[in-house]
Structure 1
Amino acid sequence: MSPEFLTIGKIARPQGIRGEVIVNVETNFPSRFFDETVFLVRTKDGVSHKMTSEKARMHKGRVILKFQTIDTMNDAEHLRDAEIIIPVENRNMDDEDFFYHYELIGMNVVAVDGHTVGRVTEVLENPGQDILVVQGKEGEVLVPFRKEICIEVNRKAGRITADMPEGLEDINR
């Protein structure tokens, strides 16, 4: 089931005394922080606020945002740990080789020889590549989400075709 909103960033803390905030980017498309000016910000209490950014800049791999009406460090402190979210229908679908985790969860993994490996129950984020947690008949299998292994992902069919290296199903159980 698709979520209603996707998190594209999380506000870590205030930056400086003029109301700027440091955002940990949680999207493969950080350009949206520069291309868009209106954001939905969900604070720790679960309330969402529509906020307009005045400026954005990158600094050490993170985004520094300045929102209108947030003019002091104290104002910005109220945004600590808030999520910057977008409606799921606004997600970037330009890259057909990019998949959101919620899209992969629930897909069936079928080996190229035709046997069913199982169903994706979770996606683990790792520095090298994501790992699919696949629940099969004989237990859990960890499958690296790499193009060399997951050779086709069919969103419509809900299926991942995998070229499973010999022993992968056994070693990861």
Structure 2
Amino acid sequence: MKKEDCFYLGKIVKKYSFKGEVLVKLDTDQPELYENLDAIFLELRNNLVPFFIESSQLHKSELLRIKFEDVDTEADADSIMKIGLYLPLDLLPKLEGNKFYFHEVIGFIIEDKNFGEVGKITGINDSTAQALFEIDRNGIEILIPMNDEFIVEVDRDQKTIIVDTPEGLIDLYLED
């Protein structure tokens, strides 16, 4: 399984018991969807390796307590600490309306209600307090906050996102 065919689900953050159980911090708004998995991929030495799950349950809402097969001691658990967990993209629940996954909108065209076509989404910057659309407009990078109030419509068929940004925001990037 290749990493580009998967989505990041979370990271192993700490040991839970002396029997090899671990706690995973999930990167999702719907942790309950991932409570009864049979297997998951762990990123070991830049490869995704399948691990089978003996049992799992939600722990304090945003953590998932997992007991993997063949991880039976604290030392076994230590060997997988801080490791990222991945699942195949086809296991992602489908989103409707104006909700979307970041990877899903790469390549979409952004159109502003007032400005017109802005450009193509080349990436999402989520390292800031508010995630930003990274848009290429003929070699010029334009950043638009991914604010629910700005997003008017996500059209999956046309691969377009229509936004209504504050007047002058896009022009800031185009002025010399």
C-alpha distance in 2, partners of 1:135/1:94?
A: 25
SS in structure 2 opposite 1:89?
helix
Over the aligned positions, Cα root-mean-square deviation in angstroms equals 2.5
Change in CA separation of 1:4 and 1:111 when aligned onto 2, cut-off 3 Å: same
- Mark the runs of 5 or more structure 2 residues left unpaired by the alignment: none
* Residue of structure 2 equivalent to 1:10: 11
* Residue of structure 2 equivalent to 1:74: 75
SS in structure 2 opposite 1:168?
coil
Question: Alpha-carbon deviation of 1:53?
Answer: 3.6
Asked whether the equivalents of residues 109 and 159 of structure 1 are also in contact (C-alpha less than 8 Å), the reply is yes
Give TM-score, length-normalised by structure 2.
0.82
C-alpha distance in 2, partners of 1:167/1:114?
A: 9
Question: Alpha-carbon deviation of 1:30?
Answer: 1.1
Aligned residue pairs: how many? 171
Asked whether the equivalents of residues 20 and 77 of structure 2 are also in contact (C-alpha less than 8 Å), the reply is yes
Question: Alpha-carbon deviation of 1:168?
Answer: 0.8
Give TM-score, length-normalised by structure 1.
0.84
C-alpha distance in 1, partners of 2:20/2:157?
A: 44
Change in CA separation of 1:164 and 1:137 when aligned onto 2, cut-off 3 Å: farther
1:110-156, CA deviations, whole angstroms, 9 ceiling, x for partnerless residues? 11146211111111226764211112237222111123212011112
- Mark the runs of 5 or more structure 1 residues left unpaired by the alignment: none
Change in CA separation of 1:76 and 1:5 when aligned onto 2, cut-off 3 Å: same
Which amino acid is 1:89 matched to?
D
1:94-117, CA deviations, whole angstroms, 9 ceiling, x for partnerless residues? 544331111111111111146211
Change in CA separation of 1:138 and 1:6 when aligned onto 2, cut-off 3 Å: closer
Paired residues for 1:41-120 under 5 Å: 41-45=41-45, 46-59=47-60, 61-113=62-114, 115-120=116-121
C-alpha distance in 1, partners of 2:128/2:59?
A: 21
Does 99-108 or 48-57 show the bigger shift? 48-57
Which amino acid is 2:25 matched to?
N
C-alpha distance in 2, partners of 1:157/1:149?
A: 19
